[in-house]
Structure 1
Amino acid sequence: MKKTTVFTGLVMLLGLASCKEHKEEKHEEVTFLVTNPIKKDTTITKDYVSQIHSIKHIELRALEKGYLKNIYVDEGQHVKKGQQMFQIMPNIYQAELQSAQAESRVAKIELENTQLLADGNVVSPNELAMATATLDKANAEVYLAQTHLGFTSIKAPFDGIMDHLEAREGSLLDEGELLTTLSDNSKMWVYFNVPEAEYLDYITSEAKKNNKDVELLMANNKRFNQKGIVETIEGEFDSETGNIAFRATFPNPDGILRNGETGSILMTVPFKDVILVPQKATFEILDKTYVFVIDKDHVVHQREITIGAELPHLFIVDKGLTENDTILLEGIKMVRDQEEIHTKTVDPVTVLSNLALYAE
């Protein structure tokens, strides 16, 4: 009985030792993928909230007081330059013009009579000069009356789209009263605010010299079918926000964009000779970003890095890494600092070409 117990115990010890050895062997068989950061030129796309405005957007107002006799256009209608849009009752101004024209004819007859008398030395040269001045004044009154009469017919100053009608036929209008607004949407001005640091990057780059192209992301999250060009930058920064306003001009041949819309400007920013690492290879501790660097003895070292910008599945590293470092690509949660591991190196170009796969 005693021999049987001893034998059983030995078997159990041998079994436990065998299991332990088997687990250790299994642990040693784990191989971690590692790679190198890659140094190359790249670009990122930054977006800025924007306001969209027509290249021309004006208010049409009544230039004379009177009743709104006719409206020849409708809301949302495309109008041509010179097309009549509104007619204010012209009766009073027509009568004023006729009166001024009559006064001009009388002054002209008086000047002709005075000229005959002056030629016969019957009147002095001063009287002739007075008659001439009277005619000039009468002609000026005619021109003024014609101008007032012209103000009763309101025409489009340029090709554009009408907005809401603010008055209806028969309304009594005061001088300066708003009738509608008119927008020229053939081109659109898109304004967006840029932080000071990004402004400095732009203003010192080649893109500034080449009138940098930008794209517009519309409110429906689709890209506008035309590219814009940054044409102007405002003269000073907003002291409260630290931003400065840029203006990009977009052609709008299909009339898709309208005054007052919103969207986002998409601007491509170039980066030269930057260090790129997969986001999968990084982790955060207390708002700081780290990677595991593997030394020549296959020992893991935790290292803090500074992120400069973010791309899909990639980080641009400002500080902390070089292209000669070896970093852990997968298994971040399975290793500890100062631990020795077995590794398999993956070419960084291969990693870049399979970013979506490694990000899963």
Structure 2
Amino acid sequence: MLRRLLIAIVVLVVIVGGIVGYNFFVAKMIGQYFANMTPPPVAVSVVEATPVTWKPGIEAIGTARAAQGVSLASETSGIVKEILFNANDKVETGQRLVQIDDAVEAADLAAAQAELELAQTQLERQRTLRERGVTAINDLDVAQASASSAQAQVLKLTAVMNQKSIEAPFGGVIGIAQIDVGQFVSAGTVLATLQDLDNMRVDFSLPEQQIPMVRIGMPVSATSEVGDLQIRGKIIAIEPKIDPNSRLVTVRAQLDDPGAGLNPGQFIRVWVELPEEQGVMALPQTVVTSNLYGDSVFVVRTQGEGDQAKQTVEQVFVKTGRRSGQLVEIADGIAAGDEVVSAGQNRLTSGAAVKIDNTVNPLPAAAN
């Protein structure tokens, strides 16, 4: 009985040992297989780090304005007699636009002119009598004062008559009439707007820190999101006072030949062009990966020569600087000639094998 028990125990130990040994052998072989298995190279596209001519600038948001633009208003009250324009008409300087009823003023002016003629006649008579010595000098002075007073009254009524006629102060495009014929208007009532669309400007604001970088005469590029309009210009004025609330400074630029696609009040994106800089290291912005540890790029490193050459990537932390369009300045971390991964970074880790394939490059323009 004891013998059978010992045999059973021995058999059980052999079986369990075999199972454990087999499992250990399988695990070891699988570990060796995966340890010796090399993952296939990751296909990536690259750009070569090359010093470029950097075109720095300042981006801002502005508002389009006409070089001359006013809201035409009446200087006096009265009934609108005539409206002598249609909306969007192009008018000339001095062109009559609105006529307010001036019948009363015309009658007063006629009476004043008659009094002026009488006063001038009496003045001439007093001068003749004075030359003959048959009148006192005081009578001549009274006649002279009466004639001057009558002349002033005529000038006053003539000015009042002119206020009844609203004329264009400059050439431009007239807007929609805000009044109707027969309507009573008081002094200050807006009649229509007048804008000189042939000469356009753009006003924009910059932080006080950027003001030392701009100068009068610097070129600017103004872009409108309506119709993809892009116009060149130059800075013509910088407000000398900084807004104490916003710490912003207003800058004005004159636009060259705005054409027919720009209207006062329109939203404008402004790019102030700063002087060019030579030999600046710049890369497409998409090559830079940002995380809690900083900004980094993947640089391709080649090991070996000929058929034995192997390409891997190294994650390099960089110091970024200014941005311009699709490019970002690399102030430190990259040397000229380095091949930087521009597509496929999300599948990479430092030391991973790669295969360069630039047939599909999402940033050909930025790479150049």
Q: 1:107 to 1:37 in 2, by over 3 A?
A: same
Deviation track 1:78-128 (CA, whole Å, cap 9, x = no partner) reads: 212222111111111111111111111111121122223212322222321
Distance 2:123 2:288 in 1: 97
Aligned-residue Cα RMSD (Å) equals: 3.9
Corresponding residue SS for 2:240: coil
Question: Considering only CA atoms, is the larger Rg found in Structure 1 or Structure 2?
Answer: 2
- Please show how residues 330-345 of structure 1 align to structure 2 within 5 Å: 332=345
Q: What are the within-5 Å matches in structure 2 for residues 193-272 of structure 1?
A: 193-203=205-215, 211-220=217-226, 222-224=228-230, 226-252=231-257, 254-269=259-274, 270-272=276-278
Kept after mapping to 1: 8 A contact 2:343/2:361: no
TM superposition shift of 1:275? 2.1
Aligned partner of 2:321: which letter?
A: G
* Correspondence 1:310 to 2:315: no
Whole-Å Cα distance in 2 between the matches of residues 29 and 87 of structure 1? 84
Q: Give 1:285's aligned residue.
A: 291
2 CA distance for matches of 1:56 and 1:120? 60
Asked if the contact 2:296/2:317 (under 8 Å) is kept, the reply is: yes
Give the whole-Å Cα distance in 1 for the aligned partners of 2:160 and 2:246: 48
- For these two proteins, the number of residue pairs brought into alignment is 339
TM-score (norm 2): 0.76
3-state SS of paired residue (2:55): strand
Please state whether the residue corresponding to 2:255 is helix, strand or coil. strand
Write the letter of the residue equivalent to 1:40. V
Cα separation, 1, equivalents of 2:182 and 2:318: 73
Q: Do 2:327 and 2:366's aligned partners in 1 also have CA atoms closer than 8 Å?
A: no
- The residue aligned with 2:36 is 24
After superposition, the Cα gap between the structure-2 partners of 1:135 and 1:260, relative to the gap in structure 1 and judged at 3 Å, is: same
Secondary structure in 1 matching 2:75: coil
Question: Is 133-142 or 40-49 further displaced after alignment?
Answer: 40-49
Pick from 73, 98, 107 the counterpart of residue 85 of structure 2: 73
What is the match of residue 176 of structure 1? Answer: 188
Rounded to whole Å, the distance in 1 between the matches of 2:224 and 2:343 is 38
Structure 1 residues 260 and 67: CA distance shift in structure 2, 3 A: same
Structure 2: runs of 5+ lacking an equivalent: 1-13, 304-310
The one-letter amino acid of 2:218's match is: K
Q: What residue is the counterpart of 1:144 in the other structure?
A: 156
Amino acid at match of 1:247: R
**Percent sequence identity over matched residues?**
22
Q: Distance in 2 between matches of 1:275 and 1:116?
A: 95
Please state how far the C-alpha of 1:140 moved relative to its aligned partner: 1.4
Q: Deviations over 1:59-95 (max 9, x none)?
A: 2222232211111112222212222111111111111
Q: Letter of the 2:291 partner, please give it.
A: I
> What do the CA deviations read for 1:268-315 (whole angstroms, capped 9, x no partner)?
444443222344543222273123578999998755433212345542
SS, match of residue 111 in structure 1: helix
Tell me the secondary structure at the aligned position of residue 281 of structure 2. strand
Deviations 1:306-325 (A, max 9, x none): 32123455421234444487
